[in-house]
Structure 1
Amino acid sequence: MFVPDSSLVEDPVAAAARRRPDHPALITPGSALTWAELDARVDAAARRLVMLARPGERVAIVLGNSIDFVVTYYGVLRAGRVAVPLNPGYTADELDHVITDCRAAVVVAEEQARPKLRSSTPPCVPPDLGTATGDLPEVAAEDLAVLLYTSGTSGRPKGAMLTHAALAANHEQLDAIEPPVVGPDDVVLLAMPLFHAYGLNTGLGTVAHHAATGVLIDRFDPAASLSVIAERAVTVTVGVPGMYAAWSRQPSVGTALSSVRTAVCGAAPLTPAESARFAVATGKTILIGYGLTETAPVLTTTAVSDRGKAGSIGRPLPGVSLRLRTSAGDVLWEDGTASADEDLAELDLAIEDTAGTDPGEIVVRGANLFSGYWPDGTGGPDPDGWWPTGDIAYADGDGDLRLVDRIGELILVNGFNVYPAEIERVLDAHPAVAESAVVGLPDDEAGQRPHAYVVAALDPAPTPAELQVYCAGHLARFKLPSIELVRELPHSAIGKVRKGEL
């Protein structure tokens, strides 16, 4: 049903079904749904959910990348309840913490996850919600839509509160990019976990926003996913560095990705070496994006600057204001758009003196920002709408941003700043290193010292002494790490190293 009142939500699935009822919406290995069919299932789920939870109550969703997840998620939103997507791979303790913290009224869980739900958990129902006749409420744009729990580098995860308006704003900001990154005729690979902001809104949300087609993959396998891409003629891939690195090493990658028009990478830094390897293997450029759960999630992209620049995270999306707080003062990117020459001229004036700027914290403002952390909104944007990301970056000679590190991971050695990412880049460039992660350890003399955990790529592995000699040729003495060889590093579901565990 069309909603003319701008204060109310225009349901993205209902809107897609109205525009393109017979267009394929979702494809899985075993089934496919049109937008009209998906809309009907979402409606049935929503009418059942209004019987299970009161308006504004939280519904925990413990499902993999499946049609059931999509139906449940959009059913929760249509019912005016709050979706809390959770990783089905969480342990019983992790599930219990989040379900208790958000005070979920009901849990929708897949069969494999149900044994991990404790007896104190709220009622658990299967994803097949059946049919019901509950009346659906009007949903306001500023109502809370989703709680996304951020993993962080230490401590318990916190729930970022995102409204319907914030989720929609990120799509409107991306829509202002020319040429478009995604359009209605695209077939989008949905291999990123849907419980993560990147997979949920940049992936699934974009498909619904454009009434495009999404191809769901629940478990990423390089060879199998390439077969799906080729079979379904996928035109847009939404992935993380590990996916592109794995694909570029597959002998069939060039042929399998021949239909791909746009390759998007986010969630973690993509090294220039891996970007180059992918380009050689496929002849395609990867668009780099940067964002956070709290920003729904995209803030910057190379799609608005130089689409082929390795190591850059580009510039802010149209509608996103960004400040770089450096020791010499703020550098500002204010609502620049990439669709008109006069706007580009204004943007260039704003950044013309940024070449070689000192690293500074990224602070942002935009309609896509969260409303603070659950339950009371603490830690959200300030009264003027600005929110510090905790990420450090600098502007290069072209005015494009380059990430340096997280403030919380900064290591202070005798008062000097040491960025773990700088040391990791050096170690990862060594041919015998598969992966590395650097953390700060207490040191009686220097205050802190960098310590590197290294996974070897060759057998026999290099010795720590050999790697230290190598580092000494690329790093100042105070940045040299102690080195520990390990078999593997702990990773999150989207491939980030869990430094808190290290």
Structure 2
Amino acid sequence: MTATEARTAQALADGREEIPLDTSGSTGAARRWFRLPHQMEREVELIGTHLVGPVDRVVSYAPPHHLFGALFGQWLPRMARVPVQQAWADPYEPPSVSPGERVLVVCVPMAWELLRRAWPALERARSIVALHSSAAPPRAAQDLVRRAAPLLRAHEILGSTETGGIGHRPLTPGGRAADPWRAFPDVDFVRPADAPAGRAEDLVVRGPRLARPEHGTRPPDQWATGDLVEFTGPRAFRLIGRDSSLIKVNGIRVHLARVDERLNALLPQAECVAVPLPDDSIAGEGYAVFWSCPGKEVGVADIRAALRDFPSPSRVVELADVPRTSAGKPDRKALLAAL
């Protein structure tokens, strides 16, 4: 048991001690944040009411030293008094499901292919709800949702260690990166009074579930997430990308989230990730596309053709697999090390 897991277990037992949680550090230094038990309980109740409903068993592929895994792999089972299979510890062990159970599956990207392979063990359930967070769902997620409906329904959660869950949307077979998110009821947005409609804005939130930073005495009043969004209603928004993903190539603005969206739409059989290269000696700024396609159905020419309306990537790099952090996000440091 890690120190974080031990302290989380103690917080579960006494309901008082702060719970330390670390960011992944994939795009910078890892940082520690602290949440109170009542914040954890509030988030479990909130998402449980809006998305999950009653459950009899939890299967968690998210490690508990990250917020998503702690919430739904530890706190929800404890609060609902139901058994949990910590599948992240042995992901190749098939889920253990009894006939007629209502099952919650806590997913990171790698979980979906494992679920697809183990589906016969899950079909005996009465119902299955999958929660997905931390990174864009892979093609296997859409495939399984298409195949397994209506037994399986799935939801994406947008959030972070600093904020907790901000918004949600259904994960559907035809789901697109541009589909809108709906905010959870206790999340408020901080926006300029004169913000023009239809324009990209920084996503800044406030609410009762913001975490306390390691070197602070209390949670911040508001938090700038680093995401760029377009509001489509008072409580709904489209996620455009990260402000750090906006680069200029030969003076042309490029949102790398749009690059990812285009590649995922036109080449769904491949896994593609665009990463900025700020030291490109020719274009000033540039980006690389890392890709993996086990069936070899896609090549470099296909990737460049899919991006014909974008400034061309400086590098297109094939990998056996796209490396990911323990939270399921593309590992930028590992990707750049592959250059």
Give the TM-score of the pair, scaled to structure 1: 0.57
Deviation at 1:258, TM superposition (A): 4.0
Deviation at 1:298, TM superposition (A): 1.5
Alignment partner of 1:148 is 2:90: no
Alignment partner of 1:359 is 2:200: yes
Deviation at 1:189, TM superposition (A): 1.6
- Taking the TM superposition and a 5 Å limit, the aligned residue runs for 1:181-260 are 181-183=52-54, 185-217=55-87, 218-221=89-92, 224-226=93-95, 228-229=96-97, 233-248=101-116, 250=117, 252-253=119-120, 256=123, 258-260=125-127
Identity %: 19
Deviation at 1:213, TM superposition (A): 3.5
Counterpart of 2:316 in structure 1 is 483
Deviation at 1:387, TM superposition (A): 0.9
Contact 2:97 2:122 in 1 (8 A): no
Equivalent of residue 171 in structure 1, options 44, 55, 72: 44
Once residues 487 and 453 of structure 1 are traced to their aligned partners in structure 2, the CA distance between those partners, rounded to angstroms, is 10
Once residues 268 and 136 of structure 2 are traced to their aligned partners in structure 1, the CA distance between those partners, rounded to angstroms, is 20
1:207 corresponds to which letter in structure 2? P
Give aligned pairs, total: 329
Runs of 4+ in 1 over 6 A off after TM superposition: 306-309
Give the TM-score of the pair, scaled to structure 2: 0.81
Counterpart of 1:300 in structure 2 is 167
Contact 2:8 2:19 in 1 (8 A): no
**Secondary structure of the residue that 1:285 maps to in structure 2?**
strand
Instruction: Give deviations 1:134-186, integer Å, cap 9, x for gaps.
Output: xxxxx4xxxx5112111133332110122233223323433553xx6233x53
- Taking the TM superposition and a 5 Å limit, the aligned residue runs for 1:74-85 are 74-76=9-11, 78=13
Deviation at 1:499, TM superposition (A): 0.9
Compute the RMSD of aligned alpha carbons.
Answer: 3.5
Equivalent of residue 189 in structure 2, options 310, 322, 340: 322
Equivalent of residue 423 in structure 1, options 234, 246, 259: 259
Counterpart of 2:31 in structure 1 is 158
Once residues 305 and 23 of structure 2 are traced to their aligned partners in structure 1, the CA distance between those partners, rounded to angstroms, is 37
Q: Aligned pair in 2 of structure 1 residues 258, 481: CA closer, same or farther (>3 Å)? A: farther
Once residues 410 and 245 of structure 1 are traced to their aligned partners in structure 2, the CA distance between those partners, rounded to angstroms, is 31
Q: Aligned pair in 2 of structure 1 residues 428, 319: CA closer, same or farther (>3 Å)? A: closer
Contact 1:254 1:282 in 2 (8 A): no
Once residues 208 and 159 of structure 2 are traced to their aligned partners in structure 1, the CA distance between those partners, rounded to angstroms, is 14
**Secondary structure of the residue that 1:219 maps to in structure 2?**
coil
- Taking the TM superposition and a 5 Å limit, the aligned residue runs for 1:129-144 are 139=16
Q: Aligned pair in 2 of structure 1 residues 412, 257: CA closer, same or farther (>3 Å)? A: farther
Contact 2:94 2:118 in 1 (8 A): no
- Taking the TM superposition and a 5 Å limit, the aligned residue runs for 1:309-348 are 310-311=175-176, 312=179, 314-323=181-190, 329=195
Contact 1:189 1:234 in 2 (8 A): no
**Secondary structure of the residue that 1:209 maps to in structure 2?**
helix
Contact 1:253 1:281 in 2 (8 A): no
- Structure 2's unaligned 5+ residue stretches are none
**Secondary structure of the residue that 2:253 maps to in structure 1?**
strand
1:310 corresponds to which letter in structure 2? G
Task: Work out which structure has the larger RCO, using CA pairs closer than 8 Å and 6 or more positions apart in sequence.
Answer: 2
Contact 1:285 1:308 in 2 (8 A): no
1:213 corresponds to which letter in structure 2? P
Once residues 62 and 160 of structure 1 are traced to their aligned partners in structure 2, the CA distance between those partners, rounded to angstroms, is 11
Counterpart of 1:288 in structure 2 is 156
Counterpart of 2:216 in structure 1 is 376
1:288 corresponds to which letter in structure 2? E
Contact 2:56 2:102 in 1 (8 A): yes
Deviation at 1:187, TM superposition (A): 1.8
- Taking the TM superposition and a 5 Å limit, the aligned residue runs for 1:56-75 are 61=3, 73-75=8-10
Once residues 265 and 321 of structure 1 are traced to their aligned partners in structure 2, the CA distance between those partners, rounded to angstroms, is 22
Once residues 103 and 66 of structure 2 are traced to their aligned partners in structure 1, the CA distance between those partners, rounded to angstroms, is 22
Contact 1:437 1:499 in 2 (8 A): no
Once residues 316 and 254 of structure 2 are traced to their aligned partners in structure 1, the CA distance between those partners, rounded to angstroms, is 16
Once residues 206 and 324 of structure 2 are traced to their aligned partners in structure 1, the CA distance between those partners, rounded to angstroms, is 30
Q: Aligned pair in 2 of structure 1 residues 169, 252: CA closer, same or farther (>3 Å)? A: closer
Once residues 265 and 172 of structure 2 are traced to their aligned partners in structure 1, the CA distance between those partners, rounded to angstroms, is 23
Contact 2:188 2:206 in 1 (8 A): yes
**Secondary structure of the residue that 2:270 maps to in structure 1?**
strand
Deviation at 1:495, TM superposition (A): 1.9
Deviation at 1:389, TM superposition (A): 0.8
1:145 corresponds to which letter in structure 2? E
Deviation at 1:282, TM superposition (A): 0.3
**Secondary structure of the residue that 2:225 maps to in structure 1?**
strand
Higher radius of gyration, 1 or 2:
1
Q: Aligned pair in 2 of structure 1 residues 172, 365: CA closer, same or farther (>3 Å)? A: farther
Counterpart of 1:492 in structure 2 is 325
- Structure 1's unaligned 5+ residue stretches are 1-58, 64-68, 81-138, 331-353
- Identify which range, 208-217 or 278-287, moves more after superposition: 208-217
Instruction: Give deviations 1:230-287, integer Å, cap 9, x for gaps.
Output: 5693522121233224423x3845963643342221121226x555422321013311
Once residues 248 and 217 of structure 2 are traced to their aligned partners in structure 1, the CA distance between those partners, rounded to angstroms, is 31
Equivalent of residue 292 in structure 2, options 443, 450, 455: 455
Instruction: Give deviations 1:319-352, integer Å, cap 9, x for gaps.
Output: 11134679x717xxxxxxxxxxxxxxxxxxxxxx
Deviation at 1:61, TM superposition (A): 2.1
Q: Aligned pair in 2 of structure 1 residues 155, 402: CA closer, same or farther (>3 Å)? A: same
